[in-house]
Amino acid sequence: MELENYLQNELSEGTVKNYLYEIQKFRRHYRNPEKISYQNLMEYVELLRKNYNPQSVKRTIYAIKKYYDYLITIGKVKTNIAGNIKIKDGKENPIQLQELLTEKELQKLLELRKERYPILEKRNQIIMSLLVNQALLVGDIERLKIEDLDLQNAKIKVQKTGITNERILDLKAEQILLFYQYLKDDREKMKEKRPDNFYFLLNKLGSAITKDDINYLVSTYQKGFTKKITSVKIRQSIIKLKLDQGENLRKVQYFAGHKHADTTEKYKETGINALQTAINQFHPIK
């Protein structure tokens, strides 16, 4: 298997292009990267840190990690020597924890409302339920197919992407009934225009729903909220809420599909840190 094909199986086109560039640069520095030691690799990382900003260094390390995964796949190496490298330079938590939604605010997003097109009412309820209950990404919802549903066992399968792992999540009781009703009635009517469509959520014309459709739906809930409402903020709020309620870090990592535990840990914040964040944001001198 060629490297580019390997990367394309897991990553977006833009990420593949960036990773190939970084990997080629790495291979020019070390002619036989499969034979270098961990110490050699750390010397390369130090060289990067002297010449590039922290985000660029992190991107290069991600690319190198993926390259060694590839070398393992084709049998050139047995272990990924880059697997445990973490760079904390310039570390800032990109998640504005103090701006996330409370449990009460999240539940407000699940309240029934009248839709302009009645045939989309249950579909829209399903979308909001997947955002709030399973913290799915917009792309996860867009890609859902009928075969990913196991309503008999109250499960839903979420396919892996370049940034998340595959996972099987529990459905709530109210979701199961809603899904059945949508599949039996509304989706059947939508599907008449595109009978070969196997995607779970459709638009009025019978085509698969798009990310733009989902993001627009979320934007229509902004009225009544002072905080900015986005699909990403909903997801982040759910993850933080689970950790605040004492759920095991590894379980939350699986639930969110995070490839690395440190991604999940970013949502943890002590009371003192939360207070300092609020002070930094709202201090009148700023």
Could you read off the pLDDT of 180-194 as tens digits, one per residue?
A: 999 999 999 998 877
pLDDT at residue 149 in the model:
96
Could you read off the pLDDT of 4-32 as tens digits, one per residue?
A: 888 887 777 778 888 999 999 999 999 99
* Averaged confidence pLDDT in the chain: 87
Percentage, residues of the chain above pLDDT 70: 90
Q: Is the pLDDT of residue 278 over 60?
A: no
Q: What are the C-alpha distances in Å from 2 to residues 7, 71, 139, 173?
A: 9, 10, 27, 45
SS3 label, residue 167: strand
CA 198 to chain centre: 23
pLDDT at residue 110 in the model:
95
CATH entry, 3-73, from 1.10.150, 2.40.30, 1.10.3470, 2.60.40: 1.10.150
Q: Contact 68/22 with Cβ under 8 angstroms?
A: no
pLDDT at residue 229 in the model:
93
Could you read off the pLDDT of 128-157 as tens digits, one per residue?
A: 999 999 999 999 999 999 999 999 999 999
CATH superfamily assigned to domain 97-265: Intergrase catalytic core (1.10.443.10)
Contacts (Cβ under 8 Å, ≥6 apart) of 74: 1
Q: What are the C-alpha distances in Å from 243 to residues 228, 274, 279?
A: 22, 14, 23
Could you read off the pLDDT of 229-259 as tens digits, one per residue?
A: 999 999 999 999 999 899 999 999 999 999 8
SS3 label, residue 158: strand
Percentage, residues of the chain above pLDDT 90: 58
Q: Residues spanned by CATH 1.10.443.10 within the chain?
A: 97-265
Q: Is the pLDDT of residue 88 over 70?
A: no
Q: Please, where are the H alpha helices in 151-222?
A: 173-181, 187-191, 211-219
Q: Contact 173/157 with Cβ under 8 angstroms?
A: no
Q: Contact 218/110 with Cβ under 8 angstroms?
A: no
CA distance 286 to 284: 5
Q: Average pLDDT of 94-120?
A: 87
Q: Residues spanned by CATH 1.10.150 within the chain?
A: 3-73
List, edge to edge, every strand of the sheet that includes 167-170.
149-150, 155-158, 167-170
> pTM for the complete prediction?
0.65
pLDDT at residue 1 in the model:
61
Exposed/middle/buried for residue 140 (C-beta within 10 Å: 0-12, 13-18, 19+): buried
170 phi and psi, to 5 degrees?
Answer: -75, 145
* Angle subtended by helix axes 13-29 and 54-73, to nearest 10: 90
CA angle centred on 252, ends 247 and 255, rounded to 5° = 135
pLDDT at residue 285 in the model:
45
Could you read off the pLDDT of 43-54 as tens digits, one per residue?
A: 998 888 888 878
Least Cα distance to 138 among 117, 163, 114 occurs for 163
Give, for 25, the enclosing helix (H) or strand (E).
helix 13-29
Could you read off the pLDDT of 165-183 as tens digits, one per residue?
A: 999 999 999 999 999 999 9
Q: Give me 127's structure tokens.
A: 């979308």
pLDDT band of residue 266 (cuts 50, 70, 90) is confident
